[in-house]
A and B are shown apart, each in its own frame.
Chain A
């Protein structure tokens, strides 16, 4: 029944229909996977766009925690963390840190006294090349329980609907537990006096493969000096960066890295829920900040403090935030590094 190649073949339509169907189904599957057919999917693009102020994002800068200053220093592990995690960063020794103090705002020119949330990003590298990146804030709990609620908070805050926040709080009552801290006027006068909390839960994996759900905090050695935002405002819009630069120039600043281990049943998946205060907490080492450098030309500028860059021995847990943060930070990074011209590296172009 094989046709002679020489004989003219009758035109048949079905092969072309079949080919169109195969290609069409593949293309639709691809479009669906890309989210083009799912306008309600919470994408990194939507999440990052929701962070932007009404006038649009500050080009060249991080899309959140945009105001910041670089530092370098060391993490000195005391060896006690090795009982919980096989990560080399917990083996007694000193490992370099590239970090960044920052304010939780999308505006790189925000006045210090306008921003309640302060943060730190750290990148610790061990000699084998493994990295531990973490971005922490001074709030004791996170305002919401999951990434969708965070997006809803951003859209409610930006909404012109007078009932938007009321409706948001009705749907996310956990937000109310965040407010006492957010509304408190007991601020500190220095980045060096702040505790910084991971808030998200991670798993430490020890040598035997046992997983320990943990959160961690950097607890300052400096004694906190309370100051109201009104008083802070009088010291100038960029007081915190001037203060930390002078303070570190006068002497290195220290924090203890405290790891808190969950009991079974503790809410590891919800950073809006604190763990009971009696949980076992282990001091695993000391972070020392040795030098401050302005961001425009500083070593932290091109670093994405993606909290899912972890050494073997630390993994993500059932907490949904690290994945969402990683996805959003990546988008922020891709955007801002493409806008280098809008944020010059030269000292003359630096924000004062």
Chain B
């Protein structure tokens, strides 16, 4: 679904940048917390869980906005491989943004851990206690986290390529502010 807009709507752009901060923080917190036995471990775990649920909620809101408002059309002269990369990466991001928190939540459920958000506020388990399910989900959470970071690096490299090499307006569709050399829409 595309629109005649040359940029994503303001709420979509706001969510993109807010979630960019959340998700990058989340990945660094995740990989950092499992590497330390200092008291930072507990602090990071206590951020990781509620932040994950926050990302899940934001991702669902963002998906809804996407279905309502769509996205600006890709440049007509974009080569097919780049077009494919641009479209598939968006599917991958939506899948990861929604799946990762759910996998984390399910993984904690399968391990009989309480899913504490803050204070006494916690979420119900979404799976029965099961060592085999826990193992499957834990591995998925682990490997998908690295995949997620790799996709983000590719995304950053790709968008900088669009801006600095092609200057084709794709960067501007999600830029927080209008840049001065924003190309005319076709």
Q: Please name the residue on chain B nearest to A131 by beta carbon.
A: B114
- Contact mask B151-172 → A, CB, 8 Å, 1/0? 0010011001100110110000
* B31 in contact (CB, < 8 A): yes
**How many angstroms between the C-alpha atoms of A128 and B119 in the bound complex?**
13
CB pair B114–A337 under 8 Å, yes or no, is no
Please provide the chain A residues from 308 to 333 with a CB less than 8 Å away from any CB of chain B in the complex: 308-309, 311-312, 316, 320, 322-324, 326-328, 330-331, 333
Chain A residues with Cβ below 8 Å from B183 are 2
CB pair B114–A129 under 8 Å, yes or no, is yes
Chain A residues with Cβ below 8 Å from B111 are 302, 304, 333, 337
CB pair A130–B114 under 8 Å, yes or no, is yes
CB pair A23–B35 under 8 Å, yes or no, is no
Q: Please name the residue on chain A nearest to B45 by beta carbon.
A: A326
* A83 in contact (CB, < 8 A): no
**How many angstroms between the C-alpha atoms of A22 and B156 in the bound complex?**
8
Q: Residue B37 contacts which of A47, A311, A338 (CB distance < 8 angstroms)?
A: A47
CB pair B112–A130 under 8 Å, yes or no, is no
Minimum CB–CB distance from B39 to chain A (whole Å) comes to 4
Chain B residues with Cβ below 8 Å from A264 are none
Chain B residues with Cβ below 8 Å from A129 are 114, 122, 124
Q: Please name the residue on chain A nearest to B114 by beta carbon.
A: A131
* A44 in contact (CB, < 8 A): yes
* B176 in contact (CB, < 8 A): no
CB pair B131–A340 under 8 Å, yes or no, is yes
| Contact A33 to B32, CB < 8 A, known contacts A27-B153, A328-B37, A334-B138 | yes
CB pair A15–B165 under 8 Å, yes or no, is yes
Q: Please name the residue on chain B nearest to A320 by beta carbon.
A: B39
* B54 in contact (CB, < 8 A): no
* A179 in contact (CB, < 8 A): no
Chain A residues with Cβ below 8 Å from B139 are 338
Q: Residue A5 contacts which of B32, B34, B39, B168 (CB distance < 8 angstroms)?
A: B168
Chain A residues with Cβ below 8 Å from B168 are 5
* B4 in contact (CB, < 8 A): no
Q: Please name the residue on chain B nearest to A29 by beta carbon.
A: B28
Chain B residues with Cβ below 8 Å from A303 are 112
CB pair A337–B135 under 8 Å, yes or no, is yes
Q: Residue A23 contacts which of B38, B39, B132, B157 (CB distance < 8 angstroms)?
A: B157
- Contact mask A6-20 → B, CB, 8 Å, 1/0? 000100100110110
How many A-B pairs fall under 8 Å by CB? 123
**How many angstroms between the C-alpha atoms of A43 and B32 in the bound complex?**
10
* B129 in contact (CB, < 8 A): yes
Chain B residues with Cβ below 8 Å from A147 are 37-38
**How many angstroms between the C-alpha atoms of A34 and B161 in the bound complex?**
28
Q: Please name the residue on chain A nearest to B186 by beta carbon.
A: A5
* B11 in contact (CB, < 8 A): no
* B63 in contact (CB, < 8 A): no
CB pair A44–B131 under 8 Å, yes or no, is no
| Contact A322 to B42, CB < 8 A, known contacts A35-B36, A333-B111 | yes
Q: Residue A18 contacts which of B124, B149, B160 (CB distance < 8 angstroms)?
A: B160
* B23 in contact (CB, < 8 A): no
* B79 in contact (CB, < 8 A): no
**How many angstroms between the C-alpha atoms of A64 and B181 in the bound complex?**
63
Chain B residues with Cβ below 8 Å from A263 are none
CB pair B113–A309 under 8 Å, yes or no, is yes
Chain B residues with Cβ below 8 Å from A330 are 34
Q: Please name the residue on chain A nearest to B119 by beta carbon.
A: A312
* A41 in contact (CB, < 8 A): yes
CB pair B112–A302 under 8 Å, yes or no, is yes
* A42 in contact (CB, < 8 A): yes
Chain A residues with Cβ below 8 Å from B156 are 22-23, 26
Minimum CB–CB distance from B48 to chain A (whole Å) comes to 12
CB pair A26–B37 under 8 Å, yes or no, is no
Chain A residues with Cβ below 8 Å from B35 are 33-35, 41, 43-44
**How many angstroms between the C-alpha atoms of A188 and B39 in the bound complex?**
35
CB pair A5–B38 under 8 Å, yes or no, is no
CB pair B37–A42 under 8 Å, yes or no, is yes
Q: Residue A309 contacts which of B28, B41, B114, B131 (CB distance < 8 angstroms)?
A: B114
**How many angstroms between the C-alpha atoms of A23 and B157 in the bound complex?**
7
**How many angstroms between the C-alpha atoms of A129 and B168 in the bound complex?**
54
**How many angstroms between the C-alpha atoms of A29 and B37 in the bound complex?**
19
Chain B residues with Cβ below 8 Å from A130 are 114, 120, 122
Chain A residues with Cβ below 8 Å from B181 are 1-2
**How many angstroms between the C-alpha atoms of A304 and B111 in the bound complex?**
8
> What would be 12 A-B contacts, judged by CB atoms less than 8 Å apart?
A9-B165, A15-B164, A23-B153, A34-B35, A43-B37, A129-B122, A312-B119, A312-B120, A327-B36, A327-B37, A334-B134, A340-B132
Starting from the known contacts A33-B31, A308-B42, A338-B135, 9 additional A-B residue pairs (CB-CB under 8 Å) come to A19-B161, A23-B157, A33-B32, A35-B32, A309-B114, A323-B42, A328-B37, A338-B131, A338-B138
**Which 6 residue pairs are nearest across A and B when measured between Cβ atoms?**
A35-B35, A15-B164, A312-B120, A324-B37, A337-B131, A338-B135
